[in-house]
Amino acid sequence: MNGAPMSFSLTEALMLAGACVLVALMLHGWWIARRARPRDAESSLEPRRTEPGLSAPGSAPHDAMESVLDALHEGDAAAMAANAHADTLPMVTRSAPRRPSQRLDGLIDVIATLHLEAPVSGEAALAHLPTSRRAGNKPFAIEGLNTNTGEWEPPTGGERYGEFQAGLQMANRSGSLSEIEFSEWVQKVQGFADGVGAMADFPDMLEAVGQGRELDQFASQHDAQIGFCLRARSAAWTLGFVQQVAGKQGLVAGSLPGRWVLPGAADGEPPMLWLQTDAQAALAEEGQGSSLREVTLMFDVAQTAESLEPFAALQELARKLGRELEADLVDETGRPIGPHAFAAIHEQLGTLYKALASRELAAGSVAARRLFS
């Protein structure tokens, strides 16, 4: 009897131990599941990463890409439409670059600008030009800006002009610009402007007159003509003989009676120097037989460029004519002119040339020739 209870107790113990192991295994599985469940939930809350270009159809990146492509296509279409529209637009004609005037110079001219809303033909401009381009003793010019060449030029038929300008010379050897001359110029230019439909912009009259006086004062202080007299030693000459001798030295008949000139270096330039006889003798009834005892050889300083050495040419011609005419070279008082006098004149000429150049009126320049005329 004592062995049975012992056996039962062992069996129960083994069963109890197995139940405990089973419960432990169940608890362990539950714990593992418990720990695993929160990690799955947390991982499900993390955003999904999508590689560029690999999005599934209908995803947001794909929609954005389609929007970009659509925008590009719309841009191409807009550009093509713009190009097509540009092809239908008229071509814009560009005016030639404006170039400075070769005829008007702000240094010696007072200039008015004539503005146009549209180009004007040369024929229209010619039809309305003033009959006289002088205001008192002062010359003036009207020129147009050629739309094709960009050159300022006198109005010419067959051309078109986008602007006009009119310049009035402020001084010459007849004196400085006066208020009366300025007013006459304004009246004539305004008539031209009205004819071509331009708006004229004139400078201030008092300022222009003042500039003219200052310019005239400078010109008066630097205006010079150098001359020598050739006086017969014995017998007088006939006008025909003097003309013959002058021709041998390259002089030709000038525009005034009794004058022979040495032509300028280029066509259209003033003469370098001239030989002058008594104009009354040249117009006398005797004509070529008129008697002469004196002639004058001269040159105008401002009219001939210093580089052409007109004074040296004057001395050389004086010596040749003196031999041919058997004449002495004297000044206006009758005193003989020698080497010392030539040297003094040459030095004075150098000072005069520098003064003219300092005012941009170099001897022989267009501006100097116009001012000293």
Work out the pLDDT band at 281, boundaries 50, 70, 90. confident
Look up residue 373 and give its DSSP letter.
-
pLDDT at position 77? 46
Is 42's pLDDT higher than 70? no
Alpha helix segments (H runs only) across the chain: 3-45, 60-88, 122-128, 179-196, 205-221, 239-248, 279-283, 310-325, 339-358, 366-371
Poorest-confidence range of 71-85, 272-286, 296-310, 349-363?
71-85
Can you give the pLDDT at residue 199? 98
Q: For residue 290, what are the contacts with CB-CB under 8 A and spacing of at least 6? A: 238, 239, 278, 281, 282, 284
DSSP 213: H
Burial class (CB in 10 A: 0-12, 13-18, 19+), 188: buried
Q: Is-contact 225 301, C-beta < 8 A?
A: yes
Query: Which pLDDT score, from 0 to 100, does residue 38 have?
Result: 41
Q: What pTM was estimated for this model as a whole?
A: 0.70
Domains identified in the chain and CATH numbers: 109-217 (3.30.1400.10), 222-371 (3.30.1400.10)
